[in-house]
């Protein structure tokens, strides 16, 4: 069964304290891995898509990386405005066709000034 | 750009009542998705439309749930009769085509008493 596990469930950082969020996945064939950010009371906002092991994407203080079993979202020198829940999702290849997104439960990040 | 529009934003109803959630996707987007988010189960896909045609409704919990997309600019998700376990935040998302890069609406918080 396709599965996505995110860790930790919650992470508290001081402003400027760099860290990483983990997304491990089990899928028969990976077509893509997606990172979203969700602020309280809002819908998820797309951040990155990664398609193959070794691929990296960057946006401001965020960098996403992908291996064959997991993805990391690295946050460099975070600011309070980076506080949010970060969701990881995978899209599997199903019988040669594209499957739907399977989401993890997210990591809630809090950055204190 | 207005983004994905959902209404109502909040809905409180009593068990057994019919509930209709509405969604207007981003103009020009061909794919539309309905998701449900709870603390226990996270974000789950309910149904996926492409060019107004339902492609995958395997996530619809049971016959009490139904979804329609009569045209490219409007979709509804109906629950009849509603039950307390249907309480959740329901999101609509759209994309230019397929599963990639989905844009989420603000969600409808449904409470069934």
Q: Which of these, B97, B98, B61, B96, lies nearest to B77 by C-alpha position?
A: B61
Give SS3 for A26.
Answer: strand
Phi-psi region of A54 (alpha: psi -120 to 50; beta: other; left: phi over 0): left
Q: d(Cα B108, Cα B78) in Å, to the nearest integer?
A: 13
Please tell me the predicted confidence (pLDDT) of residue A98. 65
For B43, the closest of A32, A49, A103 (CB atoms) is: A103
- Contacting residues for A40 by C-beta, under 8 A, at least 6 apart: none
Question: Model confidence at A97, in pLDDT bands (50, 70, 90)?
Answer: low
Q: Which residue of A has its CA nearest to B95?
A: A46
CB < 8 Å to B54, chain A: none
Mean of pLDDT over chain A: 93
Please tell me the predicted confidence (pLDDT) of residue A67. 94
Please tell me the predicted confidence (pLDDT) of residue B101. 87
Asked if the model's pLDDT at residue A103 lies above 60, the reply is: yes
**A49/chain B closest Cα distance in angstroms:** 8
Asked if the model's pLDDT at residue A94 lies above 80, the reply is: no
Asked if the model's pLDDT at residue A66 lies above 80, the reply is: yes
Percent of chain A with pLDDT over 90: 82
Q: Which residue of B has its CA nearest to A92?
A: B99
Q: d(Cα B37, Cα B50) in Å, to the nearest integer?
A: 22
Please tell me the predicted confidence (pLDDT) of residue A96. 54
Between A20-24, A32-36, A97-101, B2-6, the lowest mean confidence (pLDDT) is in A97-101
pLDDT (tens, 9 = 90+) of chain B, 113 residues, equals 689 999 999 999 999 999 999 999 999 999 999 999 999 999 999 999 999 999 888 889 889 999 999 999 999 999 999 999 999 999 999 999 888 889 999 999 999 99
pLDDT higher for A94 or B32? B32
**Interchain CB distance below 8 Å, A42 and B103:** no
Please tell me the predicted confidence (pLDDT) of residue A77. 97
């Amino acid at each position: 069964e396709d599965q996505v596990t995110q860790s930790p469930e919650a992470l508290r950082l001081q402003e400027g304290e760099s860290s990483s969020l983990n997304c491990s996945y089990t899928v028969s064939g990976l077509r893509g891995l997606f990172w979203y950010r969700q602020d309280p009371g809002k819908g998820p906002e797309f951040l990155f898509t990664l398609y193959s092991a070794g691929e990296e994407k960057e946006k401001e203080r965020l960098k996403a990386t992908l291996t064959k079993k997991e993805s990391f979202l690295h946050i460099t020198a975070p600011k309070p405005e980076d506080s949010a829940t970060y969701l990881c999702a995978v899209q599997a290849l199903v019988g040669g066709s594209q499957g739907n997104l399977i989401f993890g439960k997210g990591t809630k990040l809090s950055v204190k000034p | 750009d207005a983004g994905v529009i959902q209404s109502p934003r909040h809905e409180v109803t009593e068990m057994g009542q019919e509930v209709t959630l509405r969604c207007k996707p981003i103009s020009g987007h061909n794919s539309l998705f309905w998701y449900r988010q709870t603390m226990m189960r996270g974000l789950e896909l309910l149904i996926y439309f492409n060019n107004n045609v339902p492609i995958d409704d395997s996530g619809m919990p049971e016959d009490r749930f139904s979804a329609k997309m009569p045209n490219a600019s409007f979709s509804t998700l109906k629950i009849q009769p509603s039950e307390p376990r249907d309480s959740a935040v329901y999101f609509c998302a759209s994309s230019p085509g397929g599963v990639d890069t989905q844009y989420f609406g603000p969600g409808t918080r449904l409470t069934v008493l």
